[in-house]
Structure 1
Amino acid sequence: MTETPEHRLKRLHMRSWRRGMKEMDLILGHFADDRLAGLSAAELDLYERLLGENDQDLYLWVTGRIGQGVPEGRGGPVLLEPILDRIAAHAADRFRADR
């Protein structure tokens, strides 16, 4: 059975908010709220792949991109870099807006 685009978005949205690590719930959940519906099918595939990574690694990969670039050894898989960059930029924008 083929998943509808609407069902896929709902499933990815829920997975973004229920990660297991509160920091990643907040980073990915807000990204999903604001940006998920605007991603292309290929970007959604990449995002879904990212959701399969563990939270401790994701947290280092995303936060390492905020402010000072990517620290040595914390960049994450090369394949995920485009979506990691978008998530980090979104998180940085939210942080600046909250200040």
Structure 2
Amino acid sequence: MSYTATLAPDAASPKLTERELSKLHWRCRRGLLENDLFIEQFFMRFEPELTQRHAQGLTALMDLADNDLLDLLLCRREPDETLASAELNEVLSMLRLSGGTPALRT
């Protein structure tokens, strides 16, 4: 099964301003090169369409330790119930797609 991430238009979630994107880029700096590579590809692919909703999901992922984030990005594990949210799951799928990792496990 192939997966393509689409950014659903959401009137309740406005696009990020240039300043908000700049802050998000800064917030997404990581200690592991592997995480940085995923994040760099994510921004290259999706930056023009990112919304406040995506920023919330990405910020929640950035609160994780580097190794925990990498495990999620590489599909070694899925978000647990305390971490999972619609925003986080959407951004995680986008990050996995950007990094060339299969985005869905069914």
Q: Counterpart in 2 of 1:82?
A: 90
In 2, Cα distance between equivalents of 1:55 and 1:85: 18
In the alignment, structure 1 residue 51 sits paired with structure 2 residue 51: no
Which amino acid is the alignment partner of residue 40 of structure 1? T
Q: CA deviation at 1:7?
A: 1.2
In the alignment, structure 1 residue 10 sits paired with structure 2 residue 22: yes
In 2, Cα distance between equivalents of 1:36 and 1:85: 15
Query: Which structure would you say has the larger RCO, counting Cα contacts within 8 Å and 6 or more residues apart?
Result: 2
In the alignment, structure 1 residue 23 sits paired with structure 2 residue 34: yes
Matched position secondary structure for 2:31: coil
Taking structure 2 as the reference length, the TM-score comes to 0.65
Decide which structure has greater helix share: 1
Unmatched 5+ stretches in structure 1: 65-70, 94-99
RMSD: 2.0
User: What is the aligned length?
Assistant: 81
Taking structure 1 as the reference length, the TM-score comes to 0.69
Matched position secondary structure for 1:75: coil
Pick closer, same or farther for the CA change 1:37–1:54 going to 2, 3 Å. farther
Unmatched 5+ stretches in structure 2: 1-15, 102-106
